[in-house]
Structure 1
Amino acid sequence: MNLIAPQPDPASPIVRIVDVWKTRGHNAVLKGVNLEAHRGQVVCLLGPSGAGKSTLLRCINALEVSDRGVVYVDGVAIGCKEHNGVFYRMPEREVSRQRADIGMVFQNFNLFPHMSVIDNIIDAPIRVRGEPRTLALERGHDLLRRVGLADKANSFPRHLSGGQQQRIAIARALAMAPKLMLFDEPTSSLDPHLVGEVLEVIKGLAATGMTMIIVTHEVQFARDVADLVAVMADGVIIESGPPQSALSQPRDPRAQAFLARSLRQQN
């Protein structure tokens, strides 16, 4: 299989995952995953716990190092360089520069507890991108309005609900003006009555044309927002396609069983 990346092309996939394998100990977590996401698409990854969804997401921004295979973002191999047909891990400083263009929102918010909300948002643009503080503050307050928390700029994370903290985490990721957003089960740590406010923010991003890859257990949310759904099990993608077919008429028995179980639990 040819792993050499083409030159970036507006019509080409912004994310191209090529034959990605990942092993931990004797356990193969990912087994030759291939997936593409085009600009402006929302891709939802579904599947049971242990399917490899979060590991795949972390491989996209090189938080995990794949054993084999390559992830390209905008035609550039992430976390590695090719020399004479062989891919080598890049120095962490170079990997960090690549990650600056890929926003990621985790399950557990990961906000700095000693910083105010606005300082959480402007820290990376100032420190990593070298933005003037005035510009970072202007964008930060705009992002707070966008996620419905304009009045929380000077609050500290401990004074916010889980849903509010997750919306701040989304604003913080957006502050870096990423070309791609990754969400790792962004509602799994929230009380049920807080889930909707976070999903509404993500739906709003989808409406703006933001390219997103979302690991989620919310089947109805995936049906509403996704352009492409990929169902994973045992480290491989067992079902993929538009939500109408992948969720309503899955062909793989494992996907059928997972979706039936998920819908029972959510109803």
Structure 2
Amino acid sequence: MADMNLSQNLGGSTSAMHEMENSKPLVRCENVWKKLGGNDVLKGINLEVGRGEVVSLLGPSGAGKSTLLRCINAIEYIDRGLVYVDDVPVGCEESSGGYMRVSEQRLSRQRADIGMVFQNFNLFPHMSVLQNIIDAPVRVRKEKKSDAIEHAHELIKRVGLPEKANAYPRHLSGGQQQRIAIARALAMRPKLMLFDEPTSALDPYLTNEVLDVIKDLAQSGMTMIIVTHEVRFAREVSDKTTIMGNGKIIEAGDTEQVFSSPSNPIAQDFLSNSL
């Protein structure tokens, strides 16, 4: 009987631990500062993104949105503060009471958990769609090629382009290339997806096919941070919305609250001119 009670207690404890882990934010930005060209483009950013949440970053051009994304992925190193993904500081590690940058090899492993889709598609022109998608899983994650190929075909189908597996980027439209770029990021099985203006280079017709893929990801529970000028789309797909201005967060909260009753005058002006 004692053994059974011990087992039950351990089981309850394990379940509680899992609940605690799931309640922690997946992304934490703590007092993040970044200077570019002598100017502070991020000024003490504090941001949390829960597991499975979709957060849109909105605001005028030059507000610091894309820079913040690049700091979360350590494409840009921050000057002050810390960024955590799954409780791991990105791009640095504790050392002698402070922090120091990690090696490129360690950083590459950290980035493997963070998928990023840029404004430009950045597909390798000399590789087919399939080769583009399997390259990083095989080379960085050391997946078996056969497993990577199987997963790639699943992803190509998921983004609606199963007939394009052997095509080359030059044979694809802009919208198709961006969908393949999303599939390539998903091939690394990331914990977090970052989208930096994923439709800014596309015409309105092609924009919708990319937004539909992002909606599908949101419905599947993928944690995402989306920088976009597609304000109506952001309202539809986001759990939370953050509005930035002049390197600071000026409005943040549940999406409907932010859109319905923003308190900051700059946020009010931005939304009224964007909807």
Give, in whole Å, the separation in 1 of the partners of 2:68 and 2:129: 30
Q: Which residue of 1 aligns with 2:141?
A: 129
Q: Which residue of 1 aligns with 2:88?
A: 76
Give, in whole Å, the separation in 2 of the partners of 1:262 and 1:97: 38
CA deviation profile, 1:52-105 (whole Å, cap 9, x unmatched): 000000011100000000000000000001123311111111111100010000
Give, in whole Å, the separation in 1 of the partners of 2:154 and 2:212: 17
Q: Which residue of 1 aligns with 2:173?
A: 161
| Gap runs ≥5 in structure 1 | 1-7
Q: Which residue of 2 aligns with 1:4?
A: none
Q: Which residue of 1 aligns with 2:35?
A: 23
| Deviation for aligned residue 1:26 | 2.4
Q: 1:195 aligns with which of 202, 207, 210?
A: 207
- Match status 1:95 vs 2:107: yes
Q: 2:222 corresponds to which letter in structure 1?
A: M
Q: Which residue of 1 aligns with 2:78?
A: 66
Give, in whole Å, the separation in 2 of the partners of 1:19 and 1:84: 21
Query: Higher helix proportion, which one?
Result: 2
Q: Which residue of 1 aligns with 2:228?
A: 216
Give the TM-score of the pair, scaled to structure 1. 0.94
Q: 2:159 aligns with which of 116, 125, 147?
A: 147
* Cα RMSD for the two superposed structures: 0.9
Give the TM-score of the pair, scaled to structure 2. 0.91
Give, in whole Å, the separation in 2 of the partners of 1:256 and 1:10: 34
Task: Give the count of matched residue pairs.
Answer: 256
Moved over 6 A (4+): none
Q: Which residue of 1 aligns with 2:127?
A: 115
Q: Which residue of 2 aligns with 1:38?
A: 50
Q: 2:273 aligns with which of 253, 261, 264?
A: 261
| Deviation for aligned residue 1:162 | 0.5
| Gap runs ≥5 in structure 2 | 1-19
Give, in whole Å, the separation in 1 of the partners of 2:202 and 2:183: 17
SS of alignment partner, residue 238 of structure 1: strand
SS of alignment partner, residue 82 of structure 2: strand
Q: Which residue of 2 aligns with 1:237?
A: 249
Q: 1:45 corresponds to which letter in structure 2?
A: L
Q: Which residue of 2 aligns with 1:171?
A: 183
Q: 1:47 corresponds to which letter in structure 2?
A: G
- Match status 1:54 vs 2:66: yes
Deviates more, 1:8-17 or 1:26-35: 8-17
Q: 2:47 corresponds to which letter in structure 1?
A: L
